[in-house]
Amino acid sequence: MATPQDLRPHLPDREKKKPGVARETQEEFKHEKKELSGALKKLQQNEEEMLAMQKAERLGIPYINLLGFPINTDSLALVREDDAKAAKAIAFWHQGKDLRLAAIDPSSRAVIDIENELVDREGYHVRRFLISPRSLDIALQLYSHVTYQTEGKKDRYMQLPEEELEIFEREIKNLRDLGKRIMELPTTEVLNTIVAGAVKTKSSDIHIEPKEGYARLRYRIDGVLQDITNFSLEGYKKILSRIKVMSALKLNIHETPQDGSYVIQSSGLVIDVRVSILPGGYGENIVMRLLDRNMSVVSIEDLGMKKRDIELIHAVLKKPDGMILNTGPTGSGKTTSLAAFVQHVNSPDLKIITLEDPIEYRIPGVEQTQVNEAEGYTFSAGLRSILRQDPDIILVGEIRDTDTAETAMHAALTGHLVFSTLHTNDAPGSIPRLIDMGVRPFIIAPAVNAIIAQRLVRRVCPKCGQDYVPEQAERDSLKKMMIGVQKEVFDPAVLDNPELKLKKAIGCEACNMNGYHGRMAVFEIFSMEGEVEQLTIDGADTNQIREAALKQGMTTITQDAVIKMLDGITTFDEVGRVGSV
């Protein structure tokens, strides 16, 4: 009988215990085994996708493989993670009201329940797809990226009855009618009417301010606050309590500020409401900012820029790195402009991540995250985390501190295209502001590609705007403002034309007696090149940088507003409001 020792010579060499050989052959065996395992796993995955494809064809349901698909975390967040795991389904894409839902079993009761909730809650048009278990696993892993947006912040909904909007359309012709209706209603119905009025007048903010003996209601329409009505303090207190409940704020806290949010829903309309409550002399001031989820991103050409400015922006957007900085006060349209830039460069072969507070525009294909300071997800910390995600393009909602500024600048210097905003009065003032924040001039100069400043001017109402011939004093004032503008942009002879006509705001029911309807941005834009770049390195002041930018072809915000006024878009009064007459 053969013994184990007798069989030893017949075993493969890798099993022999020869000094200096066994370890090498053993490693080779492990490597071969690993390669075989990987090949087998790949074969199993391909087979899994093939089975899913065949099942989809059999059921007449479209199939999709989510490996490499740019799943939008905003879409993912529409279905809670626990529900997604239980139903084995995820929302992987949406644009406007069109939404795509993928599941291992799209016809299951759990998936249909999710679809019904999305339809009933937010009015989505849902299309179901079939996916493999591997695709589901890939998608579920991405829930880690929406933690800051969803964790501890479940949306609270206010159902706005459709009849409220119908009543507004039928009975309320202007802000005066709205004020009368609010005064006539019982307190329990007032908030619905206040919100419906804000929605119908396209207000950006609702202000409720307690005074001595009464509360004042105002809307911000086209950037300007409009008085609506006054009502009793008793009614104000009930409205305050309801707003606090909807926004998950503390009812018993009255001496410290509170921030919250809720969502308005009505016949397919979905509006995020950001609530700020601030203690005042006579009670708590309430400001509610309205953000329409379905607000579409405009194109660069529709922002209102001159031909020269559009060409400059297109040129800097073609660069693979560097920063575009947009400056101006709150409510000047900076986010709208940056969203247009992101949309312009957005493509499937680029990784784009945003860090916003709050998210105002939903852009398909872009990973959008929202600041949550309570959880430590600040602009500074968030930007560092984003850089570890290997992005090509980054949008940082605002540069608020030195750490964020320096991190953003270094990102712009190391192969990333960066968009961000800063609070300054004008574009040239951004450079000294960054230096004051501690960013060194020799970093700013190569990091920044272009700087933009902007404001919003109101458009004169097309129905009641009235032509008039300006007086000589008005012409002289305009000439003074337009000094230094290049002739290809503006011909000063226009102001000497005796037949020159400007627009005057009158007011009618179509514009709520304001004389204006809608807004347009006015800009000043320059690129970081030539003399401007050298002055930045030398630490020059704002006036020196402005002079160099004007030589480069920049027009100031006031000058751009004058050009739009001469085109009949806005009025002399609006030029004075955003500039200096």
Per-residue model confidence as pLDDT tens digits over 523-562 = 999 999 999 999 999 999 999 999 999 999 999 999 999 9
Residue 187 domain-assigned (yes or no):
yes
- Give the pLDDT score at 129: 95
Joined together, the tokens standing for residue 2 give 């053969």
Q: Please give the average per-residue pLDDT across 185-194, as a whole number.
A: 78
Residue entry with tokens 């053969």 = 2
Residue 126 domain-assigned (yes or no):
yes
Residue 68 domain-assigned (yes or no):
no
552: CATH: 3.40.50.300
CA–CA distance, 560 with 304 (Å, rounded to integer)? 10
Looking at the structure of the chain, the number of domains it has is: 3
- In a 13 Å sphere around the CA of 213, the CA atoms on its Cβ side amount to 0
170 membership: H or E segment, kind and range: helix 162-171
Q: Which of 237-251, 326-340, 352-366 is predicted with the least confidence, judged by mean pLDDT?
A: 237-251
Note the pLDDT tens digit of each residue in 52-110. 999 999 999 999 998 878 887 788 888 878 788 888 999 998 888 889 999 999 998 78
Final residue of a domain: which of 259, 292, 325? 292
Single out the residue of 109, 72, 69 nearest to residue 89, CA to CA: 109
Q: Which of 1-5, 162-166, 409-413 is predicted with the least confidence, judged by mean pLDDT?
A: 1-5
CA–CA distance, 420 with 397 (Å, rounded to integer)? 6
> Is the pLDDT confidence value at 26 over 70?
no
- Judgement on whether residues 287 and 329 belong to the same structural domain of the protein: no
Q: Please give the average per-residue pLDDT across 161-179, as a whole number.
A: 74
- Judgement on whether residues 574 and 477 belong to the same structural domain of the protein: yes
Note the pLDDT tens digit of each residue in 44-61. 668 888 999 999 999 999
- Give the pLDDT score at 160: 75
> Residue 536 contacts by C-beta under 8 Å, 6 or more apart in sequence?
431, 441, 444, 445, 448, 528, 545
Residues present in the chain in total: 581
Final residue of a domain: which of 258, 292, 326? 292
Burial class (CB in 10 A: 0-12, 13-18, 19+), 73: buried
167 membership: H or E segment, kind and range: helix 162-171
- Give the pLDDT score at 511: 86
Domain containing 552 equals 300-578
Partner residues linked to 207 by β-bridges: 218, 287
Single out the residue of 48, 146, 56, 54 nearest to residue 92, CA to CA: 146
CA–CA distance, 277 with 440 (Å, rounded to integer)? 38
CB 369 within 8 A of CB 394: no
Residue 35 domain-assigned (yes or no):
no
Residue 483 domain-assigned (yes or no):
yes
- Judgement on whether residues 259 and 340 belong to the same structural domain of the protein: no
User: What single letter denotes the amino acid at residue 145?
Assistant: H
> Residue 263 contacts by C-beta under 8 Å, 6 or more apart in sequence?
155, 156, 157, 158, 270, 271, 272, 273
- Judgement on whether residues 85 and 192 belong to the same structural domain of the protein: no
211: CATH: 3.30.450.90
- Judgement on whether residues 314 and 405 belong to the same structural domain of the protein: yes
Rg (C-alpha) for the chain, rounded Å, is 30
Residue 132 domain-assigned (yes or no):
yes
**What's the CA angle centered on 33, arms 30 and 36, to 5 degrees?**
155
Q: From its phi and psi, is residue 376 left (phi > 0), alpha (psi between -120 and 50) or beta?
A: left
- Judgement on whether residues 325 and 456 belong to the same structural domain of the protein: yes
279 membership: H or E segment, kind and range: strand 269-279
Q: Which of 60-69, 247-256, 404-413 has the highest mean pLDDT?
A: 404-413
> Residue 156 contacts by C-beta under 8 Å, 6 or more apart in sequence?
246, 247, 248, 261, 262, 263
